[in-house]
């Protein structure tokens, strides 16, 4: 009863009532409010589900600049989710306010050790193709895999190496992922 009265007063005062807890399942959340994405640049793990929340009363979108996703118009506490199952850099914007820009950055995941070598994984699912590059120290990037549908590879080369990948689905190609380093002895 009291809660309803307070909510009514807030609505009467023109304040937005933001729903409690979102269903983000522990993944990162991007707030789409006050004409910006916060955080504008989000680095997250391979396979993470990103939730965009839209508390504003005016509509916004999260729209992949490369064509990977488009939320359509969202407002008033709505949300949109996308799982990032492949490495790359994914810029996006709001189609209604093109000056609103953000980026999701998904590095290649690594498991292993300096002595035993590494398993590099750049995708958790299938249905895409990938380019994977490595470089030793600060030398030039070289292809490890070109246009492959494989999603992981073992890697055991002496020295410190950087690894990056990008994803292609249909006519959409991501930017290169943030580089990660592996070291083998």
Nearest by Cα to 110 from 162, 172, 33: 162
Contact 66, 88 (CB under 8 A): no
- Is residue 18 within the footprint of Cu ion (CB under 5 A)? no
Asked whether position 121 contacts Cu ion by CB under 5 A, the answer is no
Q: What is the DSSP string of 16-81?
A: ----S----TT--EEEEETTEEESSEEE--TTEEEEEEE-SSS-B--EETTSS-B---B-TTEEEE
| CB 11, min distance to Cu ion, A | 23
For position 144 contacting Cu ion by CB under 5 A, the verdict is no
- Per-position x/- string for 57-86, each x denoting binding to Cu ion as judged by CB under 5 A, each - no binding: ---x--------------------------
25, 96, 143, 150: which one binds Cu ion (CB under 5 A): 96
- Cα separation, 148 vs 112, whole angstroms: 22
Is residue 94 a contact point for Cu ion (CB under 5 A)? yes
Of 6-14, 99-107, 130-138, 146-154, which segment contacts Cu ion by CB under 5 A? 99-107
52 or 161: whose CB is closer to Cu ion?
Answer: 52
Residue 82: CB minimum distance to Cu ion, A: 17
């Amino acid at each position: 009863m009291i809660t309803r009265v307070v909510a009514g007063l807030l609505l009467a005062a023109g304040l937005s009532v933001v729903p409690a807890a979102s269903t983000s399942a522990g993944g990162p959340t991007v707030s789409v409010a006050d004409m910006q994405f916060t955080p504008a640049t989000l680095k997250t793990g391979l396979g993470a589900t990103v939730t965009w929340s839209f508390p504003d009363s005016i509509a916004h979108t999260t729209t992949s600049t490369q064509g990977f996703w488009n939320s359509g118009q969202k407002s008033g506490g709505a949300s949109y989710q996308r799982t990032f199952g492949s490495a790359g850099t994914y810029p996006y914007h709001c189609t209604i306010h093109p000056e609103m820009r953000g980026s999701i950055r998904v590095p290649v995941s690594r498991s292993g050790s300096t002595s035993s070598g590494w398993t590099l994984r750049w995708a958790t699912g299938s249905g895409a193709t990938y380019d994977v590059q490595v470089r030793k120290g600060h030398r030039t990037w070289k292809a490890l895999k070109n246009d492959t549908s494989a999603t992981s590879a073992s890697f055991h080369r002496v020295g410190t190496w950087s690894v990056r990948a990008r994803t292609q689905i249909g006519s959409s190609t991501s930017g290169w992922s943030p580089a990660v380093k592996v070291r083998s002895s």
